[in-house]
Amino acid sequence: MDNSTQMFETAFQNRLGQSPVDWIKTKIENGSQIDAIQYLFEITAAAIAQQYHCDYYDFEFYYRQYVSVVAKEADKGSSWMERIKSPSSMRNGGT
C-alpha cells in the first residue's frame, strides 16, 4: 500500500469515523444490499480521494478484507455462509 492510499484510508476514517472495511461491515450488518453498499462506497471514496488528492482501492479490495475476517470467524464456529457472497453474485439476486 502506497502513501497515497494510506492518506485515503486516514481521510476516510476521519470523515466517516470508520475504516473502509469497518464501514462496509457496518453497512452489511445493518442489512444494506451489497450493490447499494458498493455504489455508495465508490462515490464516497472518489469524493474523498479527489478532495485529498490521493488514490484509493475500489470496493472489491476492502470487501475481500471483510470476507477474510468473516472466514476467520467461521473457523471459530460462527455462521458465515449467508454473509459471504461476492458483490457480483448479489447483483443477480444471488444466482
Regarding pTM above 0.75, the answer is no
pLDDT less than 70: residues of the chain: 1, 77-95
Question: According to the model, what pLDDT value does residue 1 have?
Answer: 65
Question: According to the model, what pLDDT value does residue 91 have?
Answer: 46
Question: According to the model, what pLDDT value does residue 89 have?
Answer: 45
Question: Residues 66, 13: contact at Cβ < 8 Å?
Answer: no
Q: CB within 8 A of 5, min separation 6: which ones?
A: 54, 55, 56, 57
Question: Residues 41, 62: contact at Cβ < 8 Å?
Answer: yes
Amino acid identity of residue 46, one-letter, is A
